[in-house]
Each structure stands twice: as structure tokens, then as C-alpha cells.
Amino acid sequence: MPLGERSGDKESRYCGVETEFNDDMPQLLSHNLASAGFDFVVATLMDPAYRPSLMQKDSGGSGALPFAGSDLVLSPSQWSSHVVGKISSWIDLDSDDEIVRMDSETTLKQEIAWASHLSLQACLLPTPKGTSCANYARCVNQILQGLNNMQLWLRIPLLKTDDDSMDVDSNNLVDSWELWNSFRMLCEHHSQLSIALDVLSSLPSANSLGRWFGESVRAAIINTDSFLTNARGYPCLSKRHQKLITGFFNHAIQPLMDNLEAQTYETFEKDAVKYIQYQRAICKALQDRVPDEKASMMTTVLMVVGAGRGPLVRASLQAAEETGRKLKVFAVEKNPNAVVTLHSLVKLEGWESIVTIVSCDMRHWDAPEKADILVSELLGSFGDNELSPECLDGAQRFLKDDGISIPSSYTSFIQPVTASKLYNDVKLHKDVVHFETAYVVKLHNVARLAPTQPVFTFTHPNQPTMKSNQRFAGYFDATLYKDVHLGIEPSTATPNMFSWFAIFFPLRTPVFVCAGSSLEVHFWRCCGPTKVWYEWGVTSPCPSPIHNSNGRSYWVGL
């Protein structure tokens, strides 16, 4: 909703009521807010009988417009916090009647100018009258270019041309998402244009509804005839309606996050689920390396590469205690600040005789002996995007020929999504660089358009030929060891794990994909002497430019 957050609420939800024209705005607010318990009103700002072409004759030349109250009847904060302006519903900017078109354009601009003067946070635009909305979109786009911070909500009825959609006149069937898509593309995906979705008594199919979760739906307008009566005589919504509204609550807009490197060690260390999975994998590896009868005699050499502040060191020692195996640990970490913490941890826990701290880049370290088990947590949201292949290939030289790598393999996955909020966040920068950068995001306001597809797999140890890591390239799923895995690919995601969010690869121009058609996307993982980068592009249904050529905008340094 556009209104300010309630005290103590991080993501407030508000309930308003749509009202008829009333030039006594204080009384309208008093009745609906104080008496009826709503948070705001959607109010028509101008008498719906007004037409500019009749203005001169009816006004006697005064030129005063029939507004619903002046800017003095309420304080600016009341206008801003409790009123969403409703643009006159009669306007039709694509009418065949020239006078109607001209009156509509004049009225639209007058009403939005007045709403802006009142400091309203949003105005509700009427639904396009027909399948063509080009002139309407042109006029709205003109207004958007000079608009202050006010949002424009385009009213869109929830209609779909499938068999189970609506019981309406077949001659007027329209796919409202396609209508919205056409309108917002004509307005260049402007960030101040969003949707007020008219939820009717009948709903389209689940697939059709799913598309709206990726759009900037600011309000759901629930018609009174959508309500049923429950067994106790109270109004209620159907199960499908409830699921839809709850779905919008669960898809609140989440801003783009910084690249994964910006997340702190502390955040990682709080992810207990991840380290439980690692401990399980290490337990199994220790039991495979050392049989029970030799547990008291054999010492397993385990190297934690990229030890950070020590959570994997702790998980390894706990696994040794759990399995009754003897362990010698090398903790390799190149960050000198983390090494300070590691030394303190080892001293605090009394691990000096077991753990050796190595302050060095694993790729350049000469190990005094070879490891039985190599453990790392270098995985990124796209599996390899934090250079796990390069780092582990460099560390592989000090792993025994029959040694175990944890993780042992990981696969990247891609999935096409509609995410208008993320697209607009990127678009605000007005440059190519941000459209050629991958972002780690917590996906909420998103429509997933197809199941995930595997892209490529890395296996460790990478033997015997040391295959190139430059290959045709989301999400990831990793096998730590045997049947122990972790990942964020939706169908197999590890429950309650938060160390990784999905990675978002933008497209400079959104692609329209018809239902049932194929989307062909190409990803390349490219390696140079000093950096690794991705290039990506769409080839079907229509070609896009290749994004991030030569890593010009986004790369990871070696």
C-alpha cells in the first residue's frame, strides 16, 4: 500500500474503501475511517458529471473546476496518508469520438495535477476501455515524465481468456495481463506506474494468476460480490480468493541486495542448518576413511580451505568427536582479519594441538603433507560464482589421490522469471553496466515462468585431466558427500537455510513469451588471466544482445 508504515510494523498492510464522489471530504473520511474502521479511502476528486467541452457554457465563464474539496479542508498529511485519488472512470483516451478523447486527456491531466498539488501518494487510473490503449498510455507516459513522487495505479480487472476464467460476453474476452503488459511497455516500464488489480467473483486458472506475482501490484480491489457467507452468517472469501490475497502478501517487494561478498561472516555463521549438513558429510567421510577397528590408531588429515572465522573447523572437530575418529586440521584462510579471530578461537577452545592455522591463499600454499579430506564453503548462489572451481582446483594439489572433497559436486540451475520490481530497480541506474551485472536477491515479488533447468556441473577432485572451467553456463544444488546435499534449487532446496539467496541475471529488454512457446537462453562461463565472468543472452523467441561481453560490466577477480 502507499501509506506510511504503522509504528512497529516493518511491512504494513492497509485496508481501504472505494467511495463515490463527495465534495465534503472531512465527512467522507470521518465516516469511513473513524466509524467504519478503514485506513484510507479511494475517492473521486472531481465531479463525474464534469466535461471540459461543456465547461465554458456551464460555468458562466468562472473557470472553477468542480473538485471534491479544496486543499484547505484537510491538512497535507491527511491528504497524503488517508486519500488515494480516483481518476474519473468515464475517461476514454482511445475513443472513436474526438470530443471524448480530447475531454478525457484534459481531465486526466487536470485531475493528476490536482492530486499532485494535494500531495497524494497515489492515484487510481481507470481501466482501459478496449483492447487498444496506445493513446491512453501515451498520455500517461507524458504525465509520468514530469510527475513528482506520486504513484499511478492502473486499474486492471483479473480476466483471462482461458476456459475456466470468467462468465462474460465472449466478444469482450481479454487477457488483462497482456493489456497491462502492452500499457507498461508503451510507458517504458516506468517505476511510478503500477497495478491495482480488480479481483472479481470468478478467478482465472492458477497459471494465469501466477503471472501477477511478478508484477508491481500495489493494491487488490476486492469486489463485494466476491464474498460468500460462511456457516455463521459472516462474509468470507473462497479458498481460491484467500490463497490469491495471501499470495500477494507473501510476495511483498524486496529490494536488490548487494553482491554476496558484502555479507558478513556473522550472517554465515548463524546458518545452523548449513553446518549441520557439513557435519553430517564429514562424519560419513571420516567413517569411510577410517574403519571402526582403526579409529584409535589412524589420524585423518583434514584441510578447511577458506576457513573464515572457524565454523567449518568447529563442525569438523564435532564430527570427529561424534564418530570417535582422530583428526588433524589445517585451517587455511587468506583474510588477515579472519585469521586473527581464528587464532583467538583456537586458543579459547584449546585446539592448539589439533588445529594449525595457515594465513595464505590456498592456491599459493605449499602444504607440508597431503590431506585425506578437503572441506570448503566457497559456493555461491550460482554454484561457481565465487570461484569455487578455481580455488578448489588450486587446492587440489595437496589432496591425496584417493582423497575426498566436500563438496564433491555442484550443479547450477536457471529459471525464467518475471520480476518487475527488480527490473525497475536496475533500470533506475540508466546505464548498461547495471543490466550486465548479476545480483543476489531474496526473491519475493516474482512469477516463476517454467521449471528450473540444470546448466553445468563441477566435480571435485577435478581429475585426472583438470578440465577447463570455461564452459557453457540461478540456483545451485551441491552434493557434499554421498547422500548429504545442500542447495537452493526450489524443488530440492535445503529447508530453513539462509546463507544463499537466488542470483538474478537481468535482461536489458524484457522478452514477451507466449504460453506454450520455447524460451532459449545461452550462458557462458568465461575465464581470463585475472578474472572470471558470465555472458548471457536470449536467442528465442526473439534475440537479445549478448550481455556482459568480455566481462565489461561484471566479473570476479582471480
Catalogue all structural domains in the chain, each as residue range(s) with its CATH number.
16-250 (3.20.20.150), 260-405 (3.40.50.150)
Query: Which three cell numbers mark 455?
Result: 546448466
Give the C-alpha distances (Å, rounded to integers) separating 530 from 274, 378, 389, 527: 31, 18, 15, 8
Q: Where are the alpha helices (DSSP H) in 156-254?
A: 176-186, 206-210, 239-250
- Please state the φ and ψ torsions of residue 125, each to the nearest 5 degrees: -85, 140
At 335 the three-state DSSP class reads coil
| Half-sphere exposure at residue 193, Cβ-oriented, CA atoms within 13 angstroms | 25
* 265 — pLDDT class (breaks 50, 70, 90): low
pLDDT at res. 398? 83
Q: Residue 56: which residues within 8 A CB-CB, separation 6 or more?
A: none
362 annotated among ligand-binding-site residues: yes
Mean pLDDT, residues 74-86? 89
Q: Which of 16, 7, 13, 6 is nearest to 38 (CA)?
A: 16
Contact 339, 308 (CB under 8 A): no
Mean pLDDT, residues 35-59? 83
* 259 — pLDDT class (breaks 50, 70, 90): very low
* 439 — pLDDT class (breaks 50, 70, 90): confident
pLDDT at res. 245? 86
C-alpha to C-alpha distance for 152 and 178, rounded to whole angstroms: 19
Q: Which of 63-72, 106-115, 268-277, 376-385 has the highest mean pLDDT?
A: 106-115
Mean pLDDT, residues 476-495? 76
Asked whether the predicted pLDDT for residue 541 surpasses 80, the reply is: yes
Contact 268, 450 (CB under 8 A): no
C-alpha to C-alpha distance for 441 and 297, rounded to whole angstroms: 48
* 251 — pLDDT class (breaks 50, 70, 90): low
Note if the pTM is more than 0.75: no
pLDDT at res. 113? 92
User: Which has the minimum average pLDDT: 280-294, 308-322, 342-356, 507-521?
Assistant: 507-521
What pairing do the DSSP bridges indicate for beta strands 299-305 and 227-229?
unpaired
421 annotated among ligand-binding-site residues: no
pLDDT at res. 529? 84
367-399 tens-digit pLDDT: 999 999 999 887 776 766 666 777 777 678 888
| Half-sphere exposure at residue 162, Cβ-oriented, CA atoms within 13 angstroms | 14
Q: Which of 50-54, 93-97, 390-394, 466-470 has the highest mean pLDDT?
A: 93-97
Query: Which three cell numbers mark 530?
Result: 585475472
Average pLDDT along the chain: 82
Asked whether the predicted pLDDT for residue 7 surpasses 50, the reply is: no
pLDDT at res. 499? 66
333 annotated among ligand-binding-site residues: yes
Q: How far is CA 176 from the centre of its chain?
A: 23
361 annotated among ligand-binding-site residues: yes
User: Which has the minimum average pLDDT: 167-181, 258-272, 407-421?
Assistant: 258-272
Q: Which of 57, 397, 446 is nearest to 250 (CA)?
A: 446
* 213 — pLDDT class (breaks 50, 70, 90): confident
Q: Grid coordinates 584449546 are at which residue? A: 350
* 167 — pLDDT class (breaks 50, 70, 90): very low
User: Which has the minimum average pLDDT: 53-62, 87-96, 107-116, 232-241?
Assistant: 53-62
Catalytic residue ranges: 377, 386
How are strands ordered across the β-sheet holding 299-305? 355-359, 326-333, 299-305, 371-376, 399-406
Asked whether the predicted pLDDT for residue 14 surpasses 70, the reply is: yes
Asked whether the predicted pLDDT for residue 543 surpasses 90, the reply is: no
Mean pLDDT, residues 154-169? 64
pLDDT at res. 303? 93
Angle at alpha carbon of residue 237, lines to 231 and 240, rounded to 5°: 120
